[in-house]
Amino acid sequence: MSEKLLEVKNLNMHFPIMGGLLRRPVGHVYAVNDVSFTLLSGETFGVVGESGCGKSTLGRTMVRLYEPTSGTVSFRGKDIAHLEGEPLKDMRREIQMIFQDPYASLNPRMTIQDILEEPLVLHNMGSAEERRARIEEIVKVVGLRVSDIHKFPHEFSGGQRQRIGIARALTLNPSVIVCDEAVSALDVSIQSQVLNLLIDLQKKLKLTYVFISHDLTVVKYISDRIAVMYLGRVVELASSKDINTAPMHPYTKALLSSVPIPDPTRKSEPFILEGEVPSPSRPPSGCPFHTRCVHVTDRCKNELPRLTPSKNNSDHQVACHLAEEINKEAH
């Protein structure tokens, strides 16, 4: 049985909206709301949803780029959500992040050697010779040449820059890597190369991933389990197979129906969403999805559904009052 490596419990990240002459809070952006899940050692946990659903904020809060409004993030049983100083610095060796934009996340004034050596220097790891050996090792692991370390970020292609971002995340030998839209800025052919690289590295180095993306096809390819987010909340959580073959939440079904099927003979029934995503600063009452759902009832408008296990599969959780009824009718 896999070790419970990281646990997120009732995590909230609310950003204040400042206004008035005195710049006081006049409201909040509810980016992440009451999110809970467990990350097992060696797995890839996918997080998927539309732009603005809070998935990137969730990832950044997990690695403590943001301090959460409330809730806990426990790494190997220790709450890291409110760490400061040296304990926070030590934690960063264990949990690293690959950012969405492979160019913006790299300092254009630093060579690749300097970029990769910086975290080693900050954590006082090894002598100059040992750091150089570590950099050369990591560069080879991600498929670049050792001679490339003297170049600057602008001298590389997008795919190569993302490999550098991956190398930087690997430098400290972390246990968990949060991949925030790690392939969304790349061409499709380069995406597959980077995804396969991540899979190979996971096997070789026994890594654990949180893989964040708006592309359900990519998440399906790499993930063991998937959490579907909508307006800051997880609305469905299950294995990759169950999400793709037996989705229960209407929003998940809509996401799946939007994925093109590369088979002209196979017909699919479109599940078209109407309306716009509500503002995270003014979320609707009750179920956050009720303003766009075709199955909406008065209960949906007034009562917030909790993420609960399905009657037929305790590992398949869904936040919908009508999920069992809707899927029973479908079958």
pLDDT, averaged in runs of 10, over the chain (331 residues): 88 93 90 96 94 93 94 93 89 92 89 95 92 94 92 92 93 94 82 90 94 91 95 96 93 84 64 79 93 91 94 92 78 49
| CA atoms within 13 A of residue 22's CA, in its CB half-sphere | 3
Alpha helices in the chain, H assignment, sequence order = 55-62, 85-92, 112-122, 128-141, 158-170, 188-205, 216-222, 240-245, 250-257, 298-302, 323-330
Q: Which residue in 60, 16, 54, 15 sits closest to 35, CA to CA? A: 54
What pLDDT is attached to residue 270? Answer: 63
Pair of tokens at residue 164 = 């550098």
Cα 92 off chain centre by: 17
| Per-residue pLDDT, 269 | 63
Question: Which residue type sits at 47?
Answer: V
**295 residue type, one letter:** H
Instruction: Give the whole-angstrom CA distance, residue 82 versus residue 68.
Output: 8
Q: Return d(Cα 331, Cα 326) in angstroms, integer.
A: 9
73 touches 91 (CB < 8 A)? no
CB count in 10 Å sphere of residue 112? 24
- Give the DSSP letter of residue 312: S
Q: How far apart are CA 105 and CA 20, in angstroms?
A: 34
- The alpha carbon of 314 is separated from its chain's Cα centroid by a whole number of angstroms, namely 23
Please name the amino acid found at residue 66. Answer: Y
Q: What is the pLDDT of residue 268?
A: 61
The residues spanned by each domain of the chain are 246-331
Statement: the pTM of the whole predicted model exceeds 0.85:
yes
The token duo for 18 is 């400042």
The count of residues in the chain is 331
Q: Tell me how far CA of residue 164 lies from CA of 58, 107, 160, 291, in angstroms.
A: 23, 12, 6, 42
Chain centre distance of CA 126: 32
